[in-house]
């Protein structure tokens, strides 16, 4: 195992490396974080206009466009799971390369043939398969981080990951599109996203020379089918990992769910209008970006479970109630209050960031399997949240759904108390070594 302070080809200079290490960012992976940011900006450029663009270029209607995006979402969920399992088997860097190639090849086919020919079937195929791309690249890098970063600084390391991830998708990506759409048009902007994403992928894959990510992380005797099975069976072999996956689902399920019915309430019922609603969403996500980093660093000092319990679960249970009931009670004249409670919700969402450090630490001998379930939980949240809305919005109303979401966060708080770290991980934190070193010692013992 190469220490995060050992000079490597392409690594930052020793003085800069010490600064990065002090901030909790693994110095040998610095260019990986930079490349990830560029990659996610490229991926996020389309986030604000892709559905109507599809409707105008082959899908025909918003509903048919939503079918394409649904297929894409299924691919994202599957790829999120595979990224962890395959990183154990092939090494994170190889999985990231596959993800980059998939995204570039199928997006070029989507733009060059499906869009220009207004071919709906080809649109579903190319855009759907492209969905395997970004999770394999991004979450493959997350596995790399969890293998390399010292356990004592793992919370900060994953905090930096989500700072880059959400900074690009959708925040800076949507901002870039707001400037380029008037100049190049939506079609030209989509081609620009290909270039940005390719640049980010190359910066990451060519710039990072840390050797752990170049090799398989699983023991030599683990076979491909066994690795995939282990990435699922770990849920009952190590129940704490399964519980952690449920916590990860609850983390963002209400976020996806509220975006289904909050726009109508805030735009029409409260009377903010579309522009002020969109600004509120920007405040939520903008705040979330910076608190991803803040809570990542803080969690290494006060504990991952403590951060998730108080700032994430309990914090979100309170803030989502405030986000709905306060603006509804005060009305459109108190928009500034809505911005404050929106920022509070964005900040408390970031309180769940340490779950990406906690889950693989619960099973250092099968980090990839734990990360596979973590990523599966992230993908499943996109379905669970809207499903709750569709089931309960009619009988319970908007207020009832929000209360259900708050109750789910309380459930997450209770479940978090069961996520106690094993002795090996606690010792690794004290010795300032990585999870991969813990796994290697367990294999040879």
Would you state the structure tokens that stand for residue 338, as one six-digit string?
């809505």
Phi, psi angles (nearest 5°) of residue 217: -100, -20
pTM higher than 0.85: yes
pLDDT in the model for residue 245: 96
User: CA-CA distances (angstroms) from residue 176 to 34, 41, 199, 410?
Assistant: 17, 8, 15, 37
The dihedral formed by the CA atoms of 340, 345, 348 and 350, expressed in degrees to the nearest 10: -110
Residues of the chain with CATH 1.20.1250.20: 26-217, 221-445
347, 291 in Cβ contact below 8 A?
A: yes
* Exposure of 412 in the CB half-sphere (CA atoms within 13 A): 34
CATH no., domain 26-217? 1.20.1250.20
DSSP per-residue string spanning 392-429? HHHHHHHHHHHHHHHHHHHHHHHHHTT-PPPHHHHHHH
CA distance to 33, 84, 225, 322, per residue, from 215 (Å) = 19, 14, 18, 47
Beta carbons of 45 and 224 less than 8 angstroms apart: no
- Of 182, 228, 213, 278, the closest CA to residue 8 belongs to 213
**Fold for the domain defined by 221-445:** Growth Hormone; Chain: A; (1.20.1250)
- Please identify every stretch of the chain with a pLDDT value under 70, giving residue numbers as ranges: 1-11, 13, 438-445
Angle at 167 between CA 272 and CA 407, to 5 degrees: 60
Residue 68: count other Cβ atoms within 10 Å of its Cβ: 25
């Amino acid at each position: 195992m190469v220490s995060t302070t050992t000079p490597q080809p392409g690594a930052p200079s020793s003085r800069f490396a010490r600064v990065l290490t002090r901030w909790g960012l693994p110095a040998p992976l610095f260019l990986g974080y930079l490349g990830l940011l560029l990659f996610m900006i490229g991926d996020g450029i389309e986030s604000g206009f892709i559905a109507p663009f599809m409707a105008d270029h082959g899908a025909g209607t918003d509903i048919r466009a939503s079918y394409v995006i649904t297929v894409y979402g299924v691919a994202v969920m599957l790829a999120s799971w595979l990224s962890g399992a395959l990183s154990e088997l092939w090494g994170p860097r190889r999985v990231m390369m596959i993800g980059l190639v998939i995204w570039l090849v199928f997006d070029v086919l989507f733009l060059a043939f499906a869009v220009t020919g207004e071919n709906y079937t080809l649109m579903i195929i190319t855009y759907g398969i492209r969905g395997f791309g970004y999770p394999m690249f991004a979450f493959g890098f997350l596995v790399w981080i969890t293998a390399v970063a010292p356990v004592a600084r793992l919370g900060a390391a994953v905090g930096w990951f989500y700072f880059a991830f959400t900074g690009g998708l959708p925040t800076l990506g949507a901002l870039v599109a707001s400037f380029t759409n008037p100049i190049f048009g939506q079609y030209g902007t989509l081609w620009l996203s290909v270039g940005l994403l390719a640049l980010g992928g190359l910066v990451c894959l060519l710039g990072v020379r840390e050797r752990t990510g170049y090799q398989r992380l699983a023991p030599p005797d683990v076979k491909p089918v066994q690795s995939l099975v282990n990435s699922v069976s770990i849920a009952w072999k190590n129940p704490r990992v399964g519980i952690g996956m449920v916590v990860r689902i609850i983390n963002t399920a209400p976020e996806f769910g509220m975006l289904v019915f909050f726009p109508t309430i805030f735009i029409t019922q409260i009377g903010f209008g579309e522009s002020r609603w969109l600004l509120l969403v920007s405040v939520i996500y903008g705040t979330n970006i910076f608190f991803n980093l803040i809570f990542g660093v803080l969690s290494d000092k006060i504990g991952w479970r403590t951060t998730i319990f108080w700032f994430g679960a309990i914090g979100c249970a309170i803030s989502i109630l405030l986000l709905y009931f306060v603006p509804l009670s005060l009305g459109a004249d108190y928009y500034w209050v809505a911005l404050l409670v929106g920022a509070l919700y964005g900040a408390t969402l970031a309180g769940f960031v340490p779950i990406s450090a906690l889950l693989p630490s619960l099973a250092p001998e099968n980090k990839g399997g734990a990360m596979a379930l973590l990523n599966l939980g992230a993908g499943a949240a996109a379905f669970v949240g809207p499903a709750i809305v569709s089931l309960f919005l009619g009988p319970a109303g908007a207020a009832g759904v929000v209360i259900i979401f708050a109750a789910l966060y309380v459930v997450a708080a209770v479940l978090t108390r069961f996520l106690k770290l094993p002795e090996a991980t606690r010792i690794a934190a004290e010795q300032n070594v990585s999870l991969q070193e813990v796994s290697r010692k367990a294999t040879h013992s």
